Structure 1
Amino acid sequence: MSNEQNNGQNEQQGQHAEEKKMSNKKLSKKMIAGITASVILLAAIAGGSYAYVKSQTVATVDGERITKDELYDTLVGVYGASALDSLVTKVVIDKEADKRDVKVKDSEIDDEVATYEESYGGEEGLKSALEASGLTLADLKEDIETNIKIEKLMAKDIKLTDDEVKSYYEENKKNFDTPESIEVSHILVEDEKTAQKVLDKLNAGEDFAELAKEYSTDTATAAKGGELGFITSGEMVKEFEKAAFALKVGEISDIVKTDYGYHIIKATDHKEAKESTYEESKEQAKEAALAEKISSEYSTWVEKLKADYDIKTKL
């Protein structure tokens, strides 16, 4: 199974689309920060030894030179204003957090990194995504720390009434309802012959988890005995989902073919759908309503905050 297929399979295993969107959005912000770093690096080089940088060649076209000085000017022209504004904003956020004694614990950052890893199918998946964007884990952690500072600072300034929370809950009630879910494990192999061999061993009484460790090509779950956890409608490809929800707890499916290969599925638990109530969901609704308000009010909030600082730019 290719890395691309593995990543696709992992995305479907219990992940939520919104988490992925958020992760992509944050990585996009860091891509801009990466460009910013390039601009600042070039600026530092130019400031330290301008004549040397000016003469350095970064490319040639039929013998015509393109110098670092030209590259720097282009980067500043295209990205300079927005890149500098991003750096100014980060310094303002850091200063405001210090002034208001807002701290970010290492454990908070680590929890966010763990969410990213889950979203990208594990530690290696996240590492690959970062490398593809020219970033490091340290870059991501720095971005997470800034985001948490923003959330904590804005949470101090935003007043959320009980009526607003209740209104948010009623408008988004479906998000708080618990859908029917089934807990499953699976064994994924590349060909039908191997799938039949594994199924025969299961029918002969061999242990599902041990066979998953031995045969499954899904590297994200094989070491855990094939455990996928609870899945709900819409999370898996339709062939897998149809077979899984047809099982009773303890039952093992026949061979199920999908675009990823041949699966054998075992149902280990089942939960009925449950409608939410406001009292049960109040704290979750409050957190979600606050997050929405932070998102919608961020631009206005940060501009007001910057007005409290003596900012001079020379770009």
Structure 2
Amino acid sequence: MNKRLITLLSIGGAVAALTACNNNEQDAQNGETIVEVNDTVITEEEFINELKETYGEQMLNEMVQTTVLEDKAEEVGVTEEQVQEELDQYKENFNAEDDDELLMLLQTQYQLPVTSIEQFKNELIRPQLILEELTREDVDLSDEAKQEYFEVNEEDLAEVRARHILVESEEEADELYEELQEGADFEELASEHSIDPGSGAQGGDLGFFSRGEMVEEFEETAFSLDEGEVSEPVESDFGFHIIEVIEKRESFEELEEQIEEALIQQEARSPEEVMEEIMAEAEINVQDPAYSDWIEQ
């Protein structure tokens, strides 16, 4: 399951169910019958009491936390555009063509009790974005901080996009290298000869990677090549590789986004820490003594 959706479920997955219960509170007080099973009557009051007994404390705390987060929205500046961007990302991740298809997936595949996309946005996406902004609000993302991080971690930050042809024997690798020197197409040879099941069908393309992600022999060669350069066969425990570097990211400008993410991961507070802080700051007055022990202050 998508990690962000897991977080969203933890914040507000049950809010809609409790809201529906609250909307029917008056009917519950009247003891209206909702189901008859043989000779037994189940009233709405019994149903709602059972829900409260089983899920009430968790739901109430989630509703309080969502309210407290919403009060922080203006402070952190979460916009409708950000919420829409996040919604669009969900549709892309779930291969949903439109809002209706996404809503159906949320309801059926993830059992999320939302009845509309607007509810999903307002009760789940928006609070999560507010919480994320609060976790990173004290992170120093100034140009000076980013430049300092780059200078200290320049080697580890560098990324290479490469493709390779992996074969079992050195003899075959030498033959393929010679063909490449004579003008053969790298992607075609990779598709035809590479025994790497992951990249072979993609013309040998491995995408971008940084140091520490590949075996030592492969990595050392890949990072030493210039863009467009093809290596002689390189042996590793997997066989013999011919490597072509497609693109390199080494400058501050090329790596700025990764630097920001690294600083956020390094310095951001945990969501739990932020929630504890803003709950402690909030003015929460439990009016009904029956619920005095439910709220986690």
Q: Contact 1:55–1:68 (CA<8 Å) still a contact in 2?
A: no
Q: How is 1:81-160 mapped onto 2 (pairs within 5 angstroms)?
A: 81-97=57-73, 102-107=77-82, 110=85, 123-124=93-94, 133-135=110-112, 139=120, 143-150=124-131
Between the aligned partners of 1:65 and 1:31, the Cα distance in structure 2 is: 33
Say which SS state the counterpart of residue 251 (structure 1) adopts.
Answer: coil
* C-alpha distance in 1 between matches for 2:275 and 2:62: 14
C-alpha spacing 1:40/1:89, structure 2 compared with 1 (3 Å): same
Number of the residue aligned with 2:278 = 301
Deviation at 1:81, TM superposition (A): 1.0
Which residue number corresponds to residue 99 of structure 2?
none
Structure 2: distance between partners of 1:222 and 1:69? 60
- Report the AA paired with residue 110 of structure 1: E
**Which residue of the partner structure matches residue 220 of structure 2?**
245
**Structure 2: how far apart are the matches of 1:86 and 1:152?**
19
Tell me if structure 2 keeps the 8 A contact 1:109–1:141.
no
Output aligned runs, 1:270-281, within 5 Å: none
Query: Which amino acid letter does the alignment assign opposite residue 9 of structure 2?
Result: M
Structure 2 counterpart of 1:226, one-letter code: D
1:212 Cα offset (Å): 7.1
Give the secondary structure class of the aligned counterpart of 1:185.
Answer: strand
User: Based on CA coordinates, which of the two structures has the bigger radius of gyration?
Assistant: 2
Q: Residue by residue, what CA displacement relative to the aligned partner does 1:67-114 show, whole Å, maximum 9, x if unpaired?
A: 99877555432321121121122223324535x594424147626975
Shift of 1:29: 3.0
Letter in 1 for 2:220: F
Aligned equivalent of 2:162:
185
1:232 to partner: Cα distance: 2.3
C-alpha contact (below 8 Å) 2:73/2:130 kept by paired residues:
yes
Counterpart check, 1:267 vs 2:245: yes
CA shift in 2, pair 1:263/1:146, >3 Å: farther
Structure 2 residue runs without a partner (length 5+): 97-101, 253-258, 292-297
Give the match for residue 268 of structure 2: 291
Letter in 1 for 2:56: G
Deviation of the 1:251 alpha carbon: 2.4
- Contact persistence 2:34–2:44 (CA under 8 A): yes
After TM superposition, give the deviation of residue 144 of structure 1 in Å: 4.0
CA contact (8 A) 1:183 1:270 kept: yes
Map of 2:55 onto structure 1: 79
Is 1:28 equivalent to 2:3 in the alignment?
no
CA contact (8 A) 2:211 2:219 kept: no
Give the TM-score, by structure 1 length.
0.49
Q: TM-score scaled by structure 2?
A: 0.51
SS of the counterpart of 2:13?
helix
Q: Partner amino acid for 2:208?
A: G
Query: Which one of 37, 41, 45 corresponds to residue 16 of structure 2?
Result: 37
How far 1:228 sits from its partner (Å)?
0.8
Describe the SS at the equivalent of 1:306: coil
Distance in 2, Cα, partners of 1:159 & 1:226: 35
CA distance in 2, matches of 1:123, 1:212: 29
1:9-24 equivalent positions in 2, closer than 5 A: 24=3
Q: Distance in 1 between matches of 2:207 and 2:81?
A: 29
Is the 8 Å Cα contact of residues 213 and 222 (structure 1) preserved in structure 2?
Answer: yes
Q: 1:133 to 1:79 in 2, by over 3 A?
A: same
Q: 1:179 to 1:93 in 2, by over 3 A?
A: same
The gaps in structure 1 that reach 5 residues or longer are 1-19, 58-63, 275-280
1:56–1:67 contact (8 Å) kept in structure 2: no
Instruction: Kindly indicate whether the alpha-carbon contact (under 8 Å) linking 1:109 and 1:144 is maintained by their aligned counterparts in 2.
Output: no
